[in-house]
Chain A
Amino acid sequence: MEIEAKQHPMDKYLRADRIPHIWCPGCGLGTTLNCFLHALEELQIEPEKLAVVSGIGCTGRIAGYVNVDSYHTTHGRAIPFATGLKLAKPDMKVVVFSGDGDLFAIGGNHFIHAARRNFDMTVLCVNNYNYGMTGGQLAPTTPLEARTTTSPYGNLEHPFNLCHVAAASGAVYVARWTSLHVRRLKESMKEALNKKGFSFIEIIAPCPTAYGRRNRTPTGLDMMKYYQEHSVIKHGIDPAEADIEIGGDIIVGKFVDIEKPTFNEEVYELIKKARK
C-alpha cells in the first residue's frame, strides 16, 4: 500500500528539506513567516517572481527557509544588496526580511537612505527588542530600563521608534503589528507587497529565551498575553506618537500610506531619455 506523503499547505514557498528551523520555542518568527507565506499565496505571487534578502541574526535566517531566490548577506547589508538586485531585476518583487539590530543598528544608514530614495522594496523588520542570536544583548530598540545581557542594571539608552524613523526618512507605507495580530499582519504584508516604493512593516515579536525571561515575561505565552492586553490599534496616527515604553501600550496600525515617485521609476525613465 502506498501512502501519499502529506504536504504542508505552504510547501510551495518553503524549503521543506531545511525544516526543522533553528528558532526557539515561543519565538515569534515562525508565526511571522507563516503570515508572510499566506500573504504570498493570497496574492498568488509565483516563487520565481520573488527574492528574499536577509542580513544576520535570528530573523536573517528566514532567507534560508523560503523556497525562492534567497540571499543571506552580511550583517546590516541586506538593504544595499537588495538595492542592486532589484535594479538588475525590476520585474521581481524584492523583500528584505531582517531584525531590528541588523536593520537599525549596523544597517541603520542603509535603511534611512533606501527610504529617502523611495526605493521600490518591502522591508519587514521583526523587532524582538534585543539581539537574540548572540544571547540577548542591548539593541537600538530595547526599551528604556529593560534588562539585557549588556545592560544588566537596566537600559540607559532611548530606543528608536522604528515607524517614526521610517516615516521621517521617507517611507511611503509604514505599519506596525505584533505577531499576535496574524490576520492584520498578513493583510498589511499584502498591502506592502503591492505598494510601489519603500514599504515598511515593524513586527513586534516575542523573544522569551533571550529577552522575555530577563524582563518578567519568561514565556512566549506571557509575551503574547502582554500584546493582547496592551496593543492599541490607531490607524493613521503620527508615528512620532507611537513610542514603545516598558510596561506601556503598544500602538499598532497603519501609520503611513502615501504616493510618491519611486527611485526605480526615475532611473528607468532616465535611461529611456539618455538612449534617445
Chain B
Amino acid sequence: MKKRKKEIKFYSGNLAVAEGAIAAGCRFFAGYPITPSTEIAEHMSLRLPQVGGIFVQMEDELASMAAILGASWGGLKAMTATSGPGFSLMQENIGLGAMTETPCVVIDVQRAGPSTGMPTLVGQGDVMQSRWGSHGDYETIALSPSSPQECFDLTVRAFNLAEEYRVPVVVLMDESTGHMYEKVLVPHPEDIEIVERKKPKMSPKKYLPFKADDFVPPMACAGEGYNVHVTGLTHDEKGYPQTTDPMVQESLVKRLCDKIRKNEEKIRDVEEYLMDDARMAVVSFGISARSSKAAVRHAREKGYKVGLIHLKTIWPFPEEYFEEMASMIEKFLVVEINYGQLKYEVERNVGKNKVSHLPKFGGEVHKPHEIYEKIREVYDGN
C-alpha cells in the first residue's frame, strides 16, 4: 500500500504524546497538574474538544485514574498523564484497571525522586513502580520513548496494546524527553494502524464477560445491553465475586499475568545499534539511550566493538532476548538515571558477573563522555 506523505511538525515530547494520543483515537483525558507532565494536560484541554473528545481536570490523581477507567468502560479510549508523585497515587486504580482488564494509557513523565524530589529535573526511578506499583500479582506493559518522534509513535502503540490486551499501558517518559523539541513526522491518519478492543458477538444471555479463549475476553461496555458486573474483587468468568475460592483466584490471576507474559515477543520493541559484531552491549532506555548512542558511536570510532541495546519496551522485560544475547555478548553495561533498577532485570537474565552499571541519581542526564569512559573501563577490564 502506498503511504501518503508525512506531515512535518516541531513538537516537544509532551506535545507529541498528546497528538499521538489523539491520532490513536483517545477521546477522554482526566488529569491533575504536575511538573513535568503538565503540558500534556494543557494540550489535551485545547485539542480534545476540537475532535469531540472530553477533557476533565480532576481533584487529584486518585480521581484521574478512576475517571479514565470509568470512561473506558463507557467505551472511550482514555488517558491520563502525570509524574512520580502522581504516579504513586494512581497505583491504586492501576491495580483496579489490571484486575478489571480495562484498556487505558498512563503517561509518567519521570522526574527525580523519591517523594517530591526534583520536580523540574529528570529521573528514571519509576522503572520498578511501573511494573508492580500496585499490590498483588499482575502484569502491565510499559513503553519508553527517547525522542519526540518516539513519544508520538509509542503513544499510538500504547493505545493499541491497551485495546488488544485490555490492560493499563504505561508510557514511561522522562523530563528531558518530555521537554525536548524535535522534528516529528506525523503520518496521514489513514496510515496509522489503530487497534480496537474485541467486542462480544454472542447474545447477552450467553456472554461471560471474563471468559477468554485466547487470554483476552471480549469487552462489553456500559449501555450495550450486556448488564455486566465489574468488580475489583476476585471474580469468576461471569464477573461475580468469588472471594473464598482459591481455584477462581488461580485461574484469574494466572490469566491476567499470562496474557502479557506469553505475548512478550509480540509486545517486544528492542532497537539494536551497531550490535552486529559487538562483544559488549550498552543497555539503556529513554533519554539515557540517547547519550548512550553517542557514547557507543564514539567508542566504535576508537575501535571498541560495542553496541547499544535500546529498550523501548521495559515491561514485559524481554527475558528470552537477553538470554540469547548472553551467549553472544561478553559484557553488558546498563545506563539509567537511578541507582539500579533495570540493572537487576538484565543481571537476572544474562548473569550478574557480566553486568556493569552506570547510575545517575537524577537531576541530570548522563554526558556521553561519562558513558564512553565507563565503556572503556568495562571493555578493557580495568
Contact = CB atoms under 8 A, between A and B. Distances in A.
Interface of A: 15, 17-18, 47-49, 51, 53, 63-64, 67-74, 76-77, 79-89, 91-92, 109-110, 113, 267, 270-271, 273-275
Interface string B217-247: 0000111111111111100000011000000
Contacts of B69: 73, 81, 84
B180 to A, nearest CB: 29
A84 B72 CA distance: 8
**Most chain B beta-carbon neighbours within 10 Å: one of A47, A53, A84, A87:** A84
Interface stretch (B51-59, B117-125, B250-258): B51-59
Contact of A88 (B75, B95, B96, B240): B75
A84 B80 CA distance: 12
A91 B75 CA distance: 13
5 contacts: A69-B222, A79-B63, A80-B59, A84-B56, A88-B74
A85 B62 contact: no
A52 B60 CA distance: 23
Contacts of A47: 227
Contacts of A72: 229-233, 241
A64 B241 contact: yes
Contact of A84 (B59, B74, B230, B241): B74
Contacts of A274: 49-50
A67 B204 CA distance: 12
Given A64-B231, A71-B73, A72-B233, A48 B56 contact: no
B67 interface: yes
B99 to A, nearest CB: 10
Nearest to B54: A87
A18 B229 CA distance: 11
B66 interface: yes
B60 A69 contact: no
Contact of B63 (A67, A68, A83, A271): A83
B70 A70 contact: no
Given A47-B227, A80-B70, 13 more contacts: A15-B229, A63-B229, A64-B231, A64-B240, A64-B241, A70-B228, A70-B230, A74-B92, A84-B66, A85-B222, A89-B222, A109-B59, A110-B66
The 3 A-B residue pairs with the shortest CB-CB distance in the complex, in nearest-first order: A88-B74, A84-B70, A274-B49
Interface residues of B, number: 46
**Most chain A beta-carbon neighbours within 10 Å: one of B73, B95, B229:** B229
A81 B69 CA distance: 6
A267 B70 contact: no
Given A63-B229, A73-B232, A89 B74 contact: yes
A71 B52 contact: no
B63 A110 contact: yes
A77 B62 contact: yes
A271 B232 contact: no
Interface string B25-49: 0001010000000000000000001
B32 to A, nearest CB: 11
A83 B60 CA distance: 13
Given A71-B73, A92-B223, A109 B230 contact: no
A48 B225 CA distance: 5
A83 B67 contact: yes
A85 B66 CA distance: 10
Contacts of B51: 275
Contact of B66 (A51, A77, A273): A77
A75 to B, nearest CB: 8
Contacts of A74: 66, 92-93, 95-96, 232
A80 B63 contact: yes
Nearest to B92: A74
B133 to A, nearest CB: 14
Given A51-B222, A72-B230, A73-B232, A87 B71 contact: yes
B60 to A, nearest CB: 6
Given A48-B223, A70-B229, A271-B49, A113 B74 contact: no
B223 A49 contact: yes
Contacts of A85: 70-71, 73-74, 222
Contacts of A18: 240
**Most chain A beta-carbon neighbours within 10 Å: one of B50, B69, B75:** B69
B136 to A, nearest CB: 13
Contacts of B76: 88
B295 interface: no
B238 to A, nearest CB: 8
**Most chain B beta-carbon neighbours within 10 Å: one of A51, A72, A86, A270:** A72
Contact of A270 (B49, B58, B224): B49
A64 B228 CA distance: 10
Contacts of B59: 80, 109-110, 113
B75 A48 contact: no
Contacts of A69: 73, 221-223, 226-228
Interface in B197-213: none
Nearest to B76: A88
B308 interface: no
A63 B62 CA distance: 21
A72 B233 CA distance: 8
B68 interface: yes
B312 to A, nearest CB: 29
**Most chain B beta-carbon neighbours within 10 Å: one of A70, A82, A85, A86:** A85
B156 interface: no
B78 interface: yes
Contacts of B96: 73-74, 77
A92 B74 CA distance: 10
Given A74-B92, A80-B63, A274-B50, A88 B70 contact: yes
